[in-house]
Amino acid sequence: MKDRAVQFVCTECGRIETKWLGRCPDCGSWNSFEEEIAAPPLPKAGKSVVINTNESPVFLKDIAIDPGFRFETGISELDRVLGGGVMRGSSILLGGEPGIGKSTLMLQMIEKCSFGRTVLYVSGEESPSQVKLRAERLGLSLSNIAIFCDTRIEILATILEKTKPDVVVVDSLQTLSSNEVSSPAGSVNQIRCCSTELVGLSKRLGISLFLIGHVTKEGLLAGPKVIEHLVDTVLYFDQAGSGVRLIRAAKNRFGSIDEIGIFHMSEKGLLAVTNPTSFFITDREGQSTPPGIVYTAVIEGTRTFLVEIQALTVPAKSGFSRVYSDRIDNARVTRIAAVLERHAGIRLNDQDIYVNVAGGMKLNEVSIELPLALALWSALMGVSLPSKLISFGELSLSGEVRNVGFSEKREKAAAELGFSKVLVPKTTKLNGTLAICRCESVKEALFVCGKMV
């Protein structure tokens, strides 16, 4: 039958083909096409069709903005990542691995938002009694939280039109379904149809919408990419070490994507870590720093973190060296090792290199390149760097050490935590709070460190 035609949809990007393909031409993913029943084509509108509307274009200067257009969720770390709070009528997509705490965070958030606002928790994966038990375990107030467990989009839209809540959490997007789409819940067509309906409805009614999404084995949000284009904000919830959760924005129309939120998982749910400057470094209580350990300061949004970079080198047993690093990009580690070998005479091509960041934080800043080089040198030579030394700087392929931004801010954070020395590029401007050691090249940096040990 023509209205029951079969089509194949890529689960990664949403591309539609009339036949199955092994590899998607758009996103390049393999074995991602799934068979679905194509929706019947809509009848074409004739020339005589007249659309009546009372809408007309307006000038931006004539649009009035309500002072309460943005409100805080009551969770400081979540507000920081969102850009200061939640915008009315905005849609936020939250993704993360199973069991990481997405539902717990949303339940805590919706409980804090329930004071003075109407909230609705739409659960498609848990029954009302299960949600209640979770809320009681977290010690949340249950009096103002409304729950709805029907995931049919037509019924949900009717409820939203009737009650007009201020905040809605949908847990999860993959459980929604529409009668207009013959595919099962969680399919590409269902996700696209339901999310489009909910996002449009939230903007029209001024509802702040939170959608919880599943992730693939690669850590990306499941479903077509069009979902990420529809929503205003895309958040990723990651695990960094035991009990530590990081939330960061991959897209934010109302704020920066450079901020990260840090939470600690406890028996009472997720607790915000409001002062994480020293959260990722180890307190060794006066003991000497082991070889391969270097401290540096990184900037994430408006905050400064002190982190501990760890390196280990062992003779390669397989005839060629390998790099093992999941917290710092492998390509960066390989490049720094090549710069050390070419410009400092440090031979690493016969060594297996292991690199880690204490606390599980992923580092992408160029400022970590100088401390990474020091950590590799320290691990290879078996010497310990001073425990009160901090360093930051970018390395060029010619072996030069280059300036990085926010140097004074990094120095101040290090001084507050008891560091006494800082190794920086030659032209870096600092406040002089710490004893300053300068270097122009990576070879000079290793010479300066060699005099300290």
139 assigned ligand-binding residue? no
Do the domain assignments include residue 313?
yes
One domain, residues 340 and 408: yes
Q: What is the pLDDT, as a whole number, of residue 2?
A: 47
- The answer to whether residue 181 is domain-embedded is yes
17 annotated ligand binder: no
The answer on whether 291 is annotated among ligand-binding residues is no
> Do residues 435 and 372 share a domain?
yes
Nearest to 402 by CA among 441, 435, 432: 441
pLDDT at 1: 41
Residues 419 and 297 in one domain: yes
Shared domain for 363 and 254, answered yes or no, is no
Instruction: With a cut of 90, say whether residue 366 has pLDDT above it.
Output: yes
Q: What pLDDT shows up at residue 43?
A: 54
Quick one: average pLDDT of 233-262?
88
Is there a domain that residue 355 lies in?
A: yes
CATH of the domain at 208: 3.40.50.300
pLDDT in the model for residue 440: 95
Whether 281 maps to a domain, the answer reads: no
Residues 215 and 303 in one domain: no
Q: Which residues constitute the domain of residue 9?
A: 2-37
28-39: average pLDDT: 79
Question: Domain count of the chain?
Answer: 3
Selected residue with higher pLDDT from 1 and 92: 92
124 is in an annotated binding site: no
**What CATH number has the domain bearing residue 364?**
3.30.230.10
d(CA 318, CA 180): 58
Q: Clarify whether residues 242 and 320 are in a common domain.
A: no
Residues 331 and 217 grouped into a single domain: no
Rounded CA separation 429/156 (Å): 58
Domain end residue (candidates: 241, 272, 303): 272
For the chain, what percent of residues have pLDDT higher than 90? 57
Quickly state the pLDDT bin for 51 (edges 50, 70, 90): low
Same structural domain, 123 and 267: yes
Query: Do the domain assignments include residue 157?
Result: yes
Q: Do residues 233 and 93 touch, judged by C-beta distance below 8 A?
A: yes
Instruction: Tell me: pLDDT of 256 over 70.
Output: yes
Asked whether residue 161 is assigned to any structural domain, the reply reads yes
Q: Are residues 112 and 145 both part of a single domain?
A: yes
Question: How far is it, in rounded angstroms, from Cα 345 to Cα 341?
Answer: 5
Average pLDDT, the chain: 88
Same domain, 267 and 306: no
As a whole number of angstroms, the distance between CA 106 and CA 294 comes to 37
Per-residue pLDDT averaged across 376-397, rounded? 94
CB-based contact 100:239 (threshold 8 Å): yes
Q: Is 191 labeled as ligand-binding?
A: no
Q: Is residue 53 part of a domain?
A: no
Q: What is the mean pLDDT of residues 272-296?
A: 82
Query: Quick one: residue 116, left, alpha or beta (phi over 0 = left, psi -120 to 50 = alpha)?
Result: left
102 is in an annotated binding site: yes
The last residue of a domain, from among 221, 238, 272: 272
Any known ligand binding at 241? no
Report pLDDT digits (tens) over 174-216: 999 998 887 788 888 888 889 999 999 999 999 999 999 988 7
Q: How confident is the model at residue 44 (pLDDT cuts 50, 70, 90)?
A: low
Same domain, 399 and 325: yes
pLDDT band with cut points at 50, 70 and 90 for residue 4:
low
281 assigned ligand-binding residue: no
In this structure, are 97 and 155 located in the same domain?
Answer: yes
Query: How confident is residue 273, by pLDDT bands cut at 50, 70 and 90?
Result: confident
Between CA 196 and CA 156 the distance in angstroms is 13
pLDDT per residue as tens digits for the range 345-364: 999 989 999 999 988 888 99
Task: Please determine, for residue 321, whether its predicted confidence score (pLDDT) is greater than 90.
Answer: no
167 assigned to some structural domain: yes
Bridge partners, residue 416, by sequence: none
Q: How far apart are CA 6 and CA 37, in angstroms?
A: 5
Cβ–Cβ under 8 Å, residues 94 and 102:
yes
Tell me, what's the pLDDT at 238? Answer: 87
- Across the range 239-247, mean pLDDT stands at 82
pLDDT, position 31: 85
